[in-house]
Structure 1
Amino acid sequence: MTRHQKRLSVPKSWPVERKTATWTVKAGAGPHGEAGVPLLIVLRDVLGYADSRKEANYALNQDSVLVNGDAVSDVERPIGMFDILTFEEREESYRVFPDEGGRLALTPIDAEAAQSRLGKIVGKAQVTGGDFQFTLHDGTNVRVDEDEAGTYAPGDSLVVDNKTKEIVAHFTYEEGALVTAVAGSHAGEIGRIDTITVTPGSGDNIVTVTQDDFDGEGFETIEEYVVVIDENFIEGDDE
């Protein structure tokens, strides 16, 4: 299987220039599916911390580049929405956040904010023994006991500690919740849910978002495209 990817056909979320060259690196297997951006692109094309795959490999071999608290060694490791990147030697941390147009961008965050990451619940299933397993937007799973499982539902967001992998905060998907759009024509915009319109049958539910506190006019999008966040999640990014 080829290790290369044509630039013109990469997902819209990838932060790469499409006409500067024919090929770029292909994301390996891992979180975020096809939308995941190879770590090499982040190191080389976005941050400029490496000029080549060889330099990026050398940096990763120092075990000082962390993704969601874990050292990574694969330059093709997919990076995606809400991942936390930490460069220990530089004492820098970033959150991957959707920018306008749906491209993934890096938002600087402080060391405290880098201790956990946000995940949207996209699936729920009971497993052997009675516990429940919740699947997050990036494909990772969080397991909780049966008594606690009723607290969470698909569409909600969880904040997971990067070291313990335990849930440290929970944001409910409901009218009035603070959300950001992560895809579609309103990607990167923030507001509060005004209404959730349930569409009969197999159609997508429609979410109306108001932006009175964010100097916007509000927008409509499909349920799949919104993720619940909170004020600290935004305000803590640049502090």
Structure 2
Amino acid sequence: MTKHQKRLSVPNSWPVERKEATWTVKAGAGPHGEAGVPLLILLRDVLGYVNSKKEARYALNQGTVLVNGDDVSDVRRPIGMFDILAFTEREEYYRVFPDEGGRLALTAIDADAADSRLGKIVGKRQVKGGDFQLSLHDGANIRVGEDEAGEYSAGDSIVVDNETKDVVAHFPYEEGALVTAVAGTHAGEIGEVEEITVTAGSGPNTVRVTEEDGGFETVADYVVVIDENFTGGDAAVTTGGENE
């Protein structure tokens, strides 16, 4: 299979300019599914730390580029919403966060915040032995004990320690919760949940979100619960070179 991707058909969340060239790198297998952005695009086109795929491979082989606390060696490794990128030699740390319009952008964070990542719970099921498995938006699975499983529901968000994989914070999906829209026409907007509407039948549930200067209504699947620590910062959204 080809390792290239036509720019015109990339997901809207990818931070690339579609008309500057015909091709870009294709994401490899991994988390976030088709929405995941190849690491090469962030290193080359967004941050400008490398000029080519060859330089990116060299940089990754140094062991100073971490994704969610782990070394990465594949330039096509998919990067997606709420992943943590750490450049240990530069002492620079970023969280992937949707900007207005739904494009994934890099928000600068401090070193302490880079020790954990946010995940939206999209499923929960009991596994052998009585424990429960929480399935997250990026494909990761977190195991919790039967005695604490009742605290978590689909739609909630949790913060997972990158080293221990333990849950260190929990944000319930409920009225009054702070959320950000990650898809749809209101992607990148942040506000508080005013009302959750459960739709009978096969239609999607909806949520009404209040902002300082108004509000909006969107599909419940399009919002993620966050807290104030996940907002603010400077996002890098500029593009760089096109070399392979």
In 2, distance between residues paired with 1:131 and 1:43? 39
In 1, distance between residues paired with 2:180 and 2:13? 15
Q: How big is the shift at 1:186?
A: 0.4
Alignment partner of 1:168: what SS? strand
Q: What TM-score results when the alignment is normalised by the length of structure 1?
A: 0.96
RMSD (CA atoms): 0.9
2:139 matched to 1:150? no
2:225 matched to 1:228? yes
Q: How big is the shift at 1:29?
A: 0.4
In 2, distance between residues paired with 1:109 and 1:185? 26
Corresponding residue of 1:102: 102
Identity across matched positions, percent: 78
2:122 matched to 1:122? yes
Pairwise mapping of residues 129-208 of structure 1 onto structure 2 (< 5 A)? 129-208=129-208
Deviations 1:180-238, CA, capped at 9 Å, x for gaps: 000100000000000001100111111000012xxx31000000000001123325x46
Deviations 1:21-47, CA, capped at 9 Å, x for gaps: 110000000000000000000000000
In 1, distance between residues paired with 2:69 and 2:124? 24
Alignment partner of 1:150: what SS? helix
* Aligned length, in residue pairs: 234
In 2, distance between residues paired with 1:197 and 1:126? 27
Q: State the one-letter code of the partner of 1:133.
A: Q
In 2, distance between residues paired with 1:44 and 1:206? 38
In 1, distance between residues paired with 2:79 and 2:231? 20
Deviations 1:61-107, CA, capped at 9 Å, x for gaps: 00110000001000000000000000001000000000111100000
In 2, distance between residues paired with 1:167 and 1:32? 20
Corresponding residue of 2:76: 76
Alignment partner of 2:152: what SS? coil
Runs of 5+ unmatched residues, structure 1: none
User: Highest relative contact order (Cα 8 Å, sep 6+), 1 or 2?
Assistant: 2
Deviations 1:145-191, CA, capped at 9 Å, x for gaps: 11110010100000000111100000000000000000100000000
Runs of 5+ unmatched residues, structure 2: 235-244
In 2, distance between residues paired with 1:106 and 1:232? 15
Q: How big is the shift at 1:56?
A: 0.0
Corresponding residue of 2:67: 67
In 1, distance between residues paired with 2:166 and 2:74? 25
2:4 matched to 1:4? yes
Picking from 216, 239, 242, the partner of 1:219 is 216
In 1, distance between residues paired with 2:116 and 2:23? 34
